[in-house]
Amino acid sequence: MLAGTGSDVGKSVIAAALCRIFLQDGYHPAPFKAQNMALNSYATPEGLEIGRAQAVQAEAAGIPCHTDMNPLLLKPQSDHTSQVVLNGKPIGNRDAYDYFRKDGREELRQAVCNAYDRLASRFNPIVMEGAGSISEINLRDTDLVNMPMARHADADVFIVGDIDRGGVFASVYGSIMLQTPEDRRRIKGIIINKFRGDMRLFDDGRRMMEDICQVPVLGVIPYFNNIHVEEEDSVDLAQKAMHAQEGMVNVAVILLRHISNFTDFNVLERDPRVHLFYTNNTDDISKADIIILPGTKSTIADLYEIRRNGAAQAIIRAHREGTTVLGICGGYQMLGTDICDPQHHEGAIDRIPGLNLLPITTVITSDKTTRQTRFHLADEPNEPLLEGYEIHMGQTTLNDDADTLSIRPLTLIEDGNHDGWTDGNRCMGTYIHGILDNPSFIERILRPFEHKIKEKDQPFDIHAYKDQQYNLLADHVRQHIDMDLVYRILSNNT
């Protein structure tokens, strides 16, 4: 188990690296995180939902993702409530106080332990990940994901500390000393992450860490920004907010408060013909060639917010002046005339007008669609099938008064149904996440702007790129962690 001194110390990325290292070394690894809290989720081949981080780790391990890798997923809907997804299916909304009460915790504990047991019967080793800090002693009795899970799995625990944020000695030492004696004995190694500068400067620090903690330091991993593995959280998106650039197709992704599945834009962001940035600034929106409304966990709240801050009016104005607008999932719902929530799944608002760029109406429902999807673009039915996935609540239908001569389906699903609508090349909406991972769809949306592109390039191969990045990540971590010691610990030879 990789346990953390806090959130965002790098557990997920190191877990992905270890999954790839174990695969390279001839093992059959799988990732596991009992409970994840994230808006970035993914659909398994069975059409169930897990956290995106575990899907990435499974990809690094070379295996299909499965709900047993992340049996419990919390998707925040507000500052106080989350949708609870158990074994891939939503079971309701809970506020934080009720969720962390002891009542009903044993049922959840049994469910996550059962998922681990099923996974461990099929794979070895299991690369487990804790959540947040392992030293939140006020939550110890209700914890499902950290040391209680390590006890169930009889796992060796490696503590990950982030030296970049400062206080690494105190955070690692405190995390160890706040454990019970039984749990303290389970901690077998320390990983110092995100080191900047000359590694030799920490030689004395490494020895001091081992002296005070009485636990070996397995490695000190330098900070990197040249290896790209999908992020779990959207905390860095605002830092990508930059202005339009000449000689490229400028793509503005609207920065929503509850943005989800922002990994939809990873391929487009790395296309050399494209300058992609996140913004809700009205001036930046007006300079974009393409505007994308992304997915969101709270469609109505985010639509209300972009109306309040002027972004909605800027999008409508830009579209009127010739800018292409693409909506994905919740962003697709926003493009319509209305979003209705008669059962108040998202809050107290019954109905809110959309941007009125597509003649569609969405009704939020309790049923959740989660599935992997193979499809054609509707106007290219003889081309090879494309791939994506759906995770959404709500049904979207074409308005009765829609002009069916100007509006048509965007995609044809392999099962014979269709998804999304388009009025041509200037406004498109779809429920399919990952549609922008397909080179042919990227070519479609960039085609009207070929005259702007200074450098022509080949379409981006996302699968080859991801595989290369996992190998680079594994090489980076292997270079800085004592893997011989790791294997001795896991073999109980220390």
For the annotated catalytic residues, the residue numbers are 329, 433
Query: How many residues are recorded in the chain?
Result: 494
Query: Residue 141, Cβ neighbours under 10 Å: how many?
Result: 10
491 CA to centre of own chain: 33
Supply the DSSP symbol for 438.
S
Q: How far is the C-alpha of 400 from the C-alpha of 396, rounded, in Å?
A: 13
Structure tokens at 163: 């030296």
Query: Residue 491, Cβ neighbours under 10 Å: how many?
Result: 8
Structure tokens at 216: 């070996």
Bridge-based pairing of strands 290-293 and 249-254 is parallel
Q: Which of 159, 176, 170, 161 is nearest to 214 (CA)?
A: 176
487 CA to centre of own chain: 30
Q: How far is the C-alpha of 344 from the C-alpha of 366, rounded, in Å?
A: 10
Q: How far is the C-alpha of 177 from the C-alpha of 68, rounded, in Å?
A: 31
How does DSSP assign 454-483, residue by residue?
SS--PPP-HHHHHHHHHHHHHHHHHHHB-H
296: CB partners within 8 A, 6+ apart? 256, 258, 259, 260, 302, 329, 330, 331
- Contact present, 409 and 425 (Cβ < 8 Å): no
Under DSSP, is residue 368 helix (H, G, I), strand (E, B) or coil? strand
Q: How far is the C-alpha of 347 from the C-alpha of 325, rounded, in Å?
A: 27
